[in-house]
Structure formats: structure tokens, C-alpha cells
A and B are shown apart, each in its own frame.
Chain A
Amino acid sequence: MANQIPDFLSGYRNAKLVKTVLAEMHQTVTQPWTLMEICGGQTHAIMQYGLDQLLPDEIELVHGPGCPVCVTSLELIDQALMIAKQPDVIFTSFGDMLRVPGSSEDLFSIRAAGGQVRVVYAPIDAVKIAAQNPDKQVVFFAIGFETTAPANAMAVIQAEKLGLTNFSILPANVLVPPAIEAILSSPQNRIQGFLAAGHVSAIMGYWEYPPLAEKYQTPMAVTGFEPLDLVNGILATVRMLEEGRVAVENAYSRVVTYEGNKIAQQMLAKVFKPVDRNWRGIGTIPLSGYGLQEAYQRFDATQRFDTSGIQTEESEICIAGQVLRGIMKPSQCPAFGTLCTPQTPLGAPMVSSEGACAAYYRYGRKSS
């Protein structure tokens, strides 16, 4: 098995195969099409490998809101900051979240001021910290799409199993299908085809998408993250558009099945329930996030800490909302690369490893 694993990735980075698919795409396309890659991981891969430079001129890729750090609302971030400041709290989070600006500060500045803020790579590590520090309240910032949600759910189940009374999560998970519907139903929408997020679909399957594709007459292809996966997903979507066909195709079949991971889905249903959620830069989308089920309410940090009285204040310059909805590109922002850089971010898309602005900045282009 061990020597097969690299092929799983490197085989899909094969330049010759990528060029073959691109050549086919150039032959297939006859008119302009606007596609959205929903997932920020895809945006980064496209920019990292420079795939946008190789696409036919007719194809425009618009970057979607699929960056969990970016769409986490200012209210939630301010709540996180408020909790992290409390004495006797160890606040745990994925590293990306530490630099995301809240209304007036970020988690880094709380840590510098003496707050206990720790980076974890997996939610279960936060549970371990709770078990090791019974005299502290340990809170995990449970962000992410459906991809990370099972790990977040698992942390809650594990904490229950261990009988921990000092562990809680700040529920902030968001869901992809409601976001796709919000984009497609918007009067400003110009997206004609979707690259659906591969890793979300690995968990959830893609049975949720055909009704959406049908309702909004928009073809979709479940797409992975390596160069060959990406050009395959784009080609599949362009083919459907050129043929006037609306369907949901799976261009990431080595990872994704129609049903998805049933066990993970069952665990999600046990711990979480869909709730309305406010997306930063987009607004409230009905039933687009995960809150805790009644049986697990005691693990909800907002019930354990008083976070009332938060007054949020967004940067006036940042156009993150338009970037996240695919209306503007990061490079069209007047602050891009000048006032707003990864060191001095005005908005979350410049911070996150999945943020579109960070991708533009990190994988910059020769301007000439």
C-alpha cells in the first residue's frame, strides 16, 4: 500500500495528462462560460499550479465562498475573542483563525496579552487538553464545512464519553448546499456551472446536488484538488454546458461516492442540527450551519459563557463580501496588496490558507 499512496497524488500532477485534458477542453469550448469553484482549496490549487493561465479564454473561473475561515461571521469571531479573554479558559482553534481580524483585535493579540490560546491540528486534541487541565474551561472553535464537521462531532462525543464537564465548542460549522442555493438564487448571479467541493462530497456524497442543478438549470461536477482533478472537473462542466445538458457528474470518483460516508453522516445527525447562520460578507442563509442537538447543548460554549453585548464593526474598505459571492476578484480591490496584505489583513480572505485574496497574493502573477 505504502508505495501506492504517492501515485494517488503525484499521478494527478502529471503534466502530460493535464495538457491532454486541456487540449480537449480547447476543442470542446465554443462560447464563453462562467464557472465557480466553490471550495477555497480549489482556488489555491488553481493559482498554485497556474491552471487559470492554461484555460481557454472563453472560460472564466469565479472563486466561491468555500473558505470556512472567511465566512465565519464577525459576531462569532468577536464571541470567540470574548471567551478567549476569560481567565481560566484555554481557547483552542485551527491556526488560520488566529490572525482573522475581529471588530477590534484578533486571537493573536489576546494570546500576546496573556490569554491562553492554543493552536490544534485536530479537534480531538482540544479534548485531550481538557482532560489534562480539569481546572480550566477548554473551548474549541468548531469552524469548517461538512469536511471538518465529523471531527468536530467526534470531539463532542469523546468529551461526553470521558465525562468531561470542562469542554465545549463554539459551533460555527457551515454547509455547502445552502450556500450554492444562495448564490444561484441571487438576482446578481452569473454562474453557469459549478465545480462542487470534492472533500465535502467525500463526507456528504452528492445526492444533495441534483435537485439544485435541476431547479436552477446549472450543471455541476464534483471536483478534486490536484491539477488533473481540476481540469477534469472543468472539462466535465464545460461539456455539459456545450451540450445543453443539466446533470451532476462525479469527476472525483477515486474519493467521492454518491452516498458519501454514511457513518460520518449518522454521527453528524446525532450531534448537530441545521440552524440559520450568518455568513461573513454574504448575510444570513437559512439552515446553512450546524448547531448542537438538544442532547449536546451542554457542550455549547455560548451557553457556558456570557457573550452578550457584542457590537460588531466591519472594515469599510474590505470588499470580502463581493469576493466571496464571486462578484469581484481580489485583485479588483483597491486595498489588495497595499493596505491589505497577509501581514496586515483587513478581511479574512487575505488570512486563510483557503482564502481567495491570500491565493492571489501568495501565488502572484507576473503583471506584464
Chain B
Amino acid sequence: MSKKSFKPVNMQGPVCPVPHRHTDTVVIGHGSGGAMTRDLIRNIFQSHLGNAYLEQGNDAARIALQSASGELAVSTDSHVVFPIFYPGGDIGRLAVCGTVNDVAMLGAEPAFLTAGFILEEGLPMENLTRVIESMAAACEESGVQIVAGDTKVVEKGKADGVFINTAGFGLIPPGRDLGGQLAQPGDAVLISGTLGDHGIAVLQARGDLGFESGIQSDVAPLNKMIAALLEAVPDVHVLRDPTRGGLATTLKEIACQSQISIHLEEEAIPVKPAVRTACDMLGFDPLYLANEGKLIVVLPENKAEIALEVLHKSPYGAMATRIGLVAEADPEQVLLKTPYGTTRILDMLSGEILPRIC
């Protein structure tokens, strides 16, 4: 080495290697509970989901009750859908809508959610931000607030991107009584729209179809449509959302809970042609595919028309239609009348059709 090329070491600058700041992916440190967790919460969660309850910054949210009357509806749901983004939705919108809808099915008005995140090391921060933005939009649309949250990070390979648990709370107005056990012989059965869209959309996003269907997931918050429905028809007996297991499984549950039978007209059940074609090719039955933005309504027969009118006014109920009726004979059975005049029994979904659809 020649003297010429010698450069004295500058001892005034930092001599320790500067740690990388990890702003573009999730790393284990984001779940440490320390400064990195604080930054993650501040920069991503608070900035999109922030509200007065979250800003309290304590171990639990403190919520003043508006009234002491009525009852509380509580629901919780974990979301592990793969992939996390799919046509028409993503895990964030699903995590909000799924729980909002579950609370709304009791006739409650969903107001508050909690959100627990399990993040996989290496998740691009951009993807997390997209998920949180989507949650914020769904909260805005449904008029709920996320009042408490938690974040954990697990090692690469120990989870798959992001899992989200949400719990939801809503007040049931006094005198309101809805439930799967309340279907009555003579009731009409309505569905708010086409079946199987979510299941096929997720399958499509996985690249499992091998063809393009153009089908979008129906994931949507139904609470506003339900509020309008219950205002017009307070004596609805049952509201349920046919998620996993599809329409057939959900109706079977109602038939068992209420000790009645449900008779469906196959021709009346709305299924998009593209969904039907995909089902034909893959051997699925659209009556067993998951929906995330559909509503089953069981109500007195003479209220069916007015209920349909109300549902048709919502963007999520434009295709609402009547699909069957409730009877006393053959309790616990769901019977499907085919266009050929034959009848078959619909049972619960058995086993796995598609894993991780929600």
C-alpha cells in the first residue's frame, strides 16, 4: 500500500453499524411491545383506524353506555383467508364485514369492534397498509369503530401473511327478538342475492381455476340494509348470513334449531351463470359455497313483499328474492324441489370443500 492512498479514519462519525430501519417489511421486532411496535401502531394502525377510544392508549378501552336498556350482542371471528387479496375484497374488509354481519344478524346495531393481528415476519408493509386501509373503509361504510387492538408477529413460515381476529359489539334494541330457533311454519324464506360468489372469487385468486371467471367476492357490511329491513318489518323471525357451508348448511341449522322443515324451489335460487359454470367444471354445488355479503330472511309470509321492496333499495339486496317456505312436517329437513318435479334432501356440508375461504 502506497502512502498516497492512505486515508485517515474519521473517528468523529459513527463507528458502529447503523441498524436497518425495517420500514418496508414486518420483522419480529414489530411484535416486541417496544418502540418498533409503538411505531407500527402509530404509523399504520392509528393513522387509518384512529378514534377517541384507541387514543385513550390504555390496556382496555373505556366506553360510556348510552343507555342501560336493551341487550348486548357479542361475536368474534378469526380470518385466515388465502390469498389475502382477491377479486372484490381482501382479508381486511372481510374481517370487519364478517363480524359486523354476525352482530347484525341478531337485530343489533354494531357499534364497536376489536381487532387482533397475527403478522408473519416478512409481510410487506405495503400489503399491511392496504389491509388496514380496507378495514378503515369498511368501518366507515358500516359505521363502526375499532376500539381495541393487538399485534403479534410470528417467525417466517409460522403464519401466512396476516391473520386477523375481530370481535364485535352492538346493542339489541328492547323488544327485538331474532334467532335461528324462531322460524314458524308458514314463514317465507328470502335470500338477498346470488350465491357462491365469494367461494369462486377466492378460488380464482388462488389460481386454482385455471380459467378466468370474472367473479367478484360479495363481501359487504349488511347492517344498514338490515336496519332498514327491521324498521319496515319489525316482526322478522330469523336473519342469518350463509357463510361457510353455504345456503344449504345454514338453512339446515335453522331447520334443526326451529324444529321445522324448509322447502326450497331450485329454480328460484339465484346463481350467476359464471358461478354455475365454474361449479359444473369443478364439481361444486353453489348451495354449499361460502358467501360473505348475503342475508337469509325468514319472516311471516304476508310481510315478504314489503321486505323484498326494502332489500331491493340496498346495493347489497338488489337481487333479493323469495326462495322457499317453512313447514311443520318433516322437522329438521331442508327439501329442494327441482325443475323436474323431483325432491331431494339438502344436508349439512360434509368435510372440506375449500380450505381458508374466510
Q: Footprint of B on A, CB under 8 Å? A: 5-6, 9, 13, 15, 18-19, 47-51, 53-54, 99, 121-122, 227, 341-343, 353, 361-366, 368
Contacts and interface: CB of A to CB of B under 8 A. Distances in A.
Contacts of B280: 9
A43 B144 CA distance: 50
Contacts of A13: 339
A50 B351 contact: no
A10 B192 CA distance: 24
Given A47-B344, A48-B344, A366-B330, A99 B351 contact: yes
Given A341-B350, A362-B350, A365-B344, 5 more contacts: A15-B339, A49-B338, A49-B342, A342-B350, A342-B351
B277 interface: yes
A18 B345 contact: no
B357 interface: no
28 contacts: A9-B280, A13-B339, A15-B341, A18-B340, A19-B340, A19-B341, A49-B338, A49-B342, A50-B344, A51-B340, A53-B343, A54-B340, A54-B342, A121-B208, A121-B209, A121-B282, A342-B350, A342-B351, A343-B351, A361-B347, A361-B350, A362-B347, A363-B344, A363-B345, A364-B344, A364-B347, A365-B343, A366-B343
Contacts of B347: 361-362, 364
A6 B345 contact: no
B340 A49 contact: yes
B277 A5 contact: yes
A6 B273 contact: yes
Nearest to B283: A353
A353 B284 CA distance: 9
A132 to B, nearest CB: 13
Interface in B333-356: 333, 335, 338-345, 347, 350-351
A343 B351 CA distance: 6
Given A5-B277, A6-B277, A122-B210, A50 B343 contact: yes
B202 to A, nearest CB: 15
B351 A365 contact: no
A363 B351 CA distance: 16
B342 A53 contact: yes
Contact of A366 (B208, B283, B345, B351): B345
A51 B342 contact: yes
Contacts of B335: 366
B350 A50 contact: no
A364 B342 contact: no
Nearest to A108: B352
B342 A50 contact: yes
Contacts of B344: 47-48, 50, 363-365
Contact of A364 (B339, B345, B351): B345
Interface string B304-340: 0000000000000000000000000010010100111
Contacts of A227: 340
Interface in B253-287: 273, 277, 280, 282-283
A63 B351 CA distance: 24
Contact of A50 (B208, B209, B277, B338): B338
Among B282, B343, B347, B350, find the residue whose CB has the most chain A CB atoms closer than 10 A: B350
A86 B72 CA distance: 53
Contacts of A5: 277
A368 B343 CA distance: 12
A227 B111 CA distance: 50
Nearest to B282: A121
Contacts of A9: 277, 280
